[in-house]
């Protein structure tokens, strides 16, 4: 028997005869078996509880969308979900009815309830029992949970509230939430005010704000891109976008196609060999080659946009145009991005991504085709660089700060149990996005990641407004700097509000609003934690897919690297608008958004109540 909180039969939740039960005098032996099982459960003795079941492989139980066979498998399932006594609560049943199917068989039906400090799951069950040499024993049980009955805390989590929070975070006032800008400061202060209103303890060095610095770059002024000899007016956001860490400058020059923009002569590949790019604008593919250089090693981040810009500048180029590889199944559209790679900032080298159509216009003077050029380079794994005979103009202003102030937002709900007060569970999501460009183009970042931030805020409200008193501390963190390279989560992992050595798990929410299902990564590294999430979903919305990865994705990475079990909540098929101006709350699936947030709450509440012990990470 499987319930929303028990892995197998939570059915024997048997505490005595309740109202509405029909027990004939001759069925007292059956009732005695059930009462004995209940006593074993409430004593914390799972093996005593399991004595009500038929030993051997003839036992079966069904719950959720699973069927299990064999006494030892059922016991193993219980032990994986209930590793210690305080996780088990107290069982109770009512409306018990026993129907004889013959002299040695009976059908038992009833309702079950599990009383715990954290919650009160409940549902119905049916048992088939047979009489044999050991007396009456269960040979089959089927348990269902009362999915429609939410706890008071879960009921506070609604699609309406989630959408409202995400709408605030994506408003023009938040300006795309780029770290180091006024828009991000507004977002961080708004989130901090939400934590304060809930009465959470501040977890930062400035109240709820945890201060750090990182480089930041804003595109300002009135940028220009034009092709000489063309009457077409090219529009920012439609025909081109600047890279988040573009340099500033005014350039009018001939355009030279330089393949992948790589110059590694010692490794047998150089797109700049044989072409003169001094005082020119170079056009290069944004993505790396699908093949490796002659030495068989990877490209060692030389293929990142910042490195490509620095390489171009080292050869005398004055600006860089990046274009997606046209021969991909789905070439990347224009996106806003601050994932630029390591190295110094090329402050005087403008860098922008142009559309396939703009690239075709640049190549047309030489009768060249971008797809054919890519095919030629890839087939021979050799450069095909050439001057295009076309001139372009680029103008852009920036506001660059190598050490801009930014913040994580941290609130803590203290645990009440003295034996757990030093232990914690962390719930995180990144608050930042990629900002706006020149006050003309806004990247709202609704799914990425106003959705995850809204989910963490909503779960914090569920704990407080639902009256949940966790045994462990619950640390809520909204990270800065994820888009540039996990800077905020890494800083918090190194400067945690509560010690990581006694943290049971870290749950991360990233891109959870748009999509059609639920994926939870980290399961290959923390199978017990992930298995509980799968069980919870199977007995509720059944939206979670069985595929998972090792721990360490996105903002879980710094915590996973320090040995913590992590789960990464994300929707399936949720990236059609990633880093585009169309990433708005209108694209959200409210049902999935609500379901994944409630699932996250249930996992967090389970860990916070001490029912999960930090498991060794699996390879």
**CATH for 548:** 3.40.630.10
- Asked if residue 65 has pLDDT above 80, the reply is no
Identify the pLDDT of residue 149: 55
Lowest-pLDDT choice from 118-122, 425-429, 552-556: 118-122
Identify the pLDDT of residue 146: 60
Question: Residue-wise over 477-507: b if at least 16 C-beta within 10 A, else e?
Answer: bbbbbbbbebbbbbbbbeebbbebeebbbbb
- Please indicate, yes or no, if residue 272 is contained in any of the structural domains: yes
- Please indicate, yes or no, if residue 311 is contained in any of the structural domains: yes
Contact 191, 431 (CB under 8 A): yes
- Please indicate, yes or no, if residue 2 is contained in any of the structural domains: no
- Please indicate, yes or no, if residue 420 is contained in any of the structural domains: yes
User: 2 vs 444, which has greater pLDDT?
Assistant: 444
Domain C-terminal end among 115, 145, 175: 145
Quick one: which of 248, 498, 426 has its CA closest to 348? Answer: 248
- Please indicate, yes or no, if residue 584 is contained in any of the structural domains: yes
Say whether both 438 and 497 belong to one domain: yes
- Asked if residue 306 has pLDDT above 50, the reply is yes
- Asked if residue 20 has pLDDT above 50, the reply is no
**Average pLDDT over the chain, rounded to an integer:** 91
CA within 13 Å, CB half, 615:
24
**How far is the C-alpha of 218 from the C-alpha of 435, rounded, in Å?**
8
Say whether both 458 and 569 belong to one domain: yes
Say whether both 571 and 457 belong to one domain: yes
Say whether both 470 and 602 belong to one domain: yes
Identify the pLDDT of residue 23: 62
**What confidence tens digit (pLDDT) does each residue in 194-225 have?**
999 999 999 999 999 999 999 999 999 999 99
- Asked if residue 21 has pLDDT above 70, the reply is no
Contact 520, 569 (CB under 8 A): yes
Identify the pLDDT of residue 269: 94
Q: Which domain holds residue 163?
A: 152-213+403-608
Contacts (Cβ under 8 Å, ≥6 apart) of 172: 442
Say whether both 407 and 388 belong to one domain: no
Domain C-terminal end among 356, 377, 399: 399
- Please indicate, yes or no, if residue 15 is contained in any of the structural domains: no
Say whether both 105 and 156 belong to one domain: no
Lowest-pLDDT choice from 171-180, 416-425, 603-612: 416-425
The rounded radius of gyration (Å) of the Cα atoms in the chain is 30
User: 360 vs 123, which has greater pLDDT?
Assistant: 360
Number of domains in the chain: 3
List the structure tokens of 500: 């990581």
Helix (H) or strand (E) holding 75: helix 71-81
CA distances from 461 to 117, 300, 568 (A): 18, 44, 20
Say whether both 138 and 172 belong to one domain: no
Instruction: Give the DSSP per-residue string, 270-292.
Output: ETTTT---TT-EEEEESSPPSS-
Identify the pLDDT of residue 119: 65
Say whether both 75 and 202 belong to one domain: no
Report the CATH number at residue 387: 3.50.30.30
Domain C-terminal end among 399, 424, 451: 399
Say whether both 539 and 583 belong to one domain: yes
**What confidence tens digit (pLDDT) does each residue in 393-442 have?**
999 999 999 999 999 999 999 999 888 889 999 999 999 999 999 999 99
**Long-range CB contacts (within 8 A, 24+) of 66-72:** 66/2, 66/538, 68/2, 68/8
Contacts (Cβ under 8 Å, ≥6 apart) of 365: 388, 389, 390
Say whether both 376 and 427 belong to one domain: no
Lowest-pLDDT choice from 73-77, 262-266, 515-519: 73-77
Say whether both 350 and 423 belong to one domain: no
Q: At residue 231, what are phi and psi to the nearest 5 degrees? A: -85, -10
């Amino acid at each position: 028997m499987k319930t929303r909180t028990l892995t197998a039969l939570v059915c024997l939740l048997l505490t005595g005869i309740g109202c509405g039960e029909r027990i004939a005098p001759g069925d007292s032996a059956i009732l005695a078996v059930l009462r004995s099982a209940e006593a074993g459960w409430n004593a914390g003795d799972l093996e005593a509880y399991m004595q009500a079941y038929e030993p051997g492989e003839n036992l079966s139980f069904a719950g959720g969308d699973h069927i299990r066979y064999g006494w030892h498998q059922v016991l193993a399932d219980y032990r994986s979900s209930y590793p210690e006594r305080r996780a088990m609560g107290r069982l109770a049943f009512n409306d018990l009815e026993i129907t004889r199917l013959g002299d040695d068989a009976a059908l038992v039906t009833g309702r079950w309830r599990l009383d715990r400090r954290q919650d009160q799951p409940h549902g119905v069950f049916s048992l088939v029992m047979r009489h044999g040499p050991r007396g009456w024993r269960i040979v089959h049980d089927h348990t269902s949970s009362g999915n429609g009955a939410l706890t008071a805390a879960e009921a506070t989590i609604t699609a309406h509230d989630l959408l409202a929070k995400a709408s605030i975070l994506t408003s023009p006032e938040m300006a795309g939430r780029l770290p180091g800008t006024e828009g991000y400061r507004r977002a961080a202060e708004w989130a901090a005010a939400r934590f304060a209103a809930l009465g959470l303890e501040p977890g930062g060095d400035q109240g709820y704000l945890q201060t750090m610095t990182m480089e930041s770059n804003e595109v300002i002024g009135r940028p220009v891109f034009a092709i000489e000899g063309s009457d077409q007016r090219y529009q920012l956001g439609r025909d081109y976008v600047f890279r988040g860490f573009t340099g500033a400058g005014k350039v009018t020059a001939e355009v030279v196609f330089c393949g992948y923009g790589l110059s590694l002569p010692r490794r047998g590949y150089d797109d700049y060999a044989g072409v003169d790019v001094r005082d020119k604008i170079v056009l290069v593919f944004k993505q790396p080659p699908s093949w490796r250089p002659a030495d068989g090693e990877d490209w060692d981040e030389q293929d990142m946009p910042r490195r490509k810009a620095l390489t171009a500048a080292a050869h005398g180029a004055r600006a860089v145009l990046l274009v997606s590889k046209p021969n991909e199944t789905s070439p990347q559209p224009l996106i806003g991005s601050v994932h630029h790679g390591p190295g110094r900032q090329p402050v005087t080298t403008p860098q922008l991504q142009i559309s396939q159509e703009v690239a075709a216009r640049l190549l047309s003077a030489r009768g060249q085709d971008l797809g054919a050029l890519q095919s030629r380079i890839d087939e021979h794994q050799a450069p095909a660089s050439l001057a295009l005979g076309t001139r372009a103009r680029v103008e852009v202003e920036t506001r660059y700060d190598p050490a801009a102030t930014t913040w994580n937002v941290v609130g803590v709900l203290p645990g009440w149990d003295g034996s757990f007060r030093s232990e914690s569970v962390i719930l995180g999501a990144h608050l930042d996005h990629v900002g706006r460009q020149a006050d003309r183009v806004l990247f709202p970042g609704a799914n990425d990641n106003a959705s995850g931030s809204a989910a963490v805020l909503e779960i914090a409200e569920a704990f407080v407004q639902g009256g949940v008193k966790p045994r462990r501390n619950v640390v809520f963190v909204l990270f800065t700097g994820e888009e540039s390279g996990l800077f905020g989560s890494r800083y918090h992992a190194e400067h945690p509000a509560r010690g990581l050595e006694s943290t049971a798990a870290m749950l991360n929410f990233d891109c959870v609003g748009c999509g059609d299902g639920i994926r939870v990564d980290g399961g290959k590294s923390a199978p017990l934690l992930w298995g509980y999430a799968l069980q919870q979903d199977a007995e509720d919305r059944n939206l979670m897919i069985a595929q998972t990865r090792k721990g360490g994705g996105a903002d879980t990475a710094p915590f996973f690297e320090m040995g913590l079990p992590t789960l990464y909540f994300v929707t399936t098929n949720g990236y059609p608008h990633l880093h585009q101006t169309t990433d708005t709350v209108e694209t959200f699936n409210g049902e999935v958004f609500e379901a994944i947030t409630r699932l996250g709450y249930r996992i967090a509440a389970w860990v916070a109540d001490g029912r999960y012990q930090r498991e060794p990470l699996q390879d």
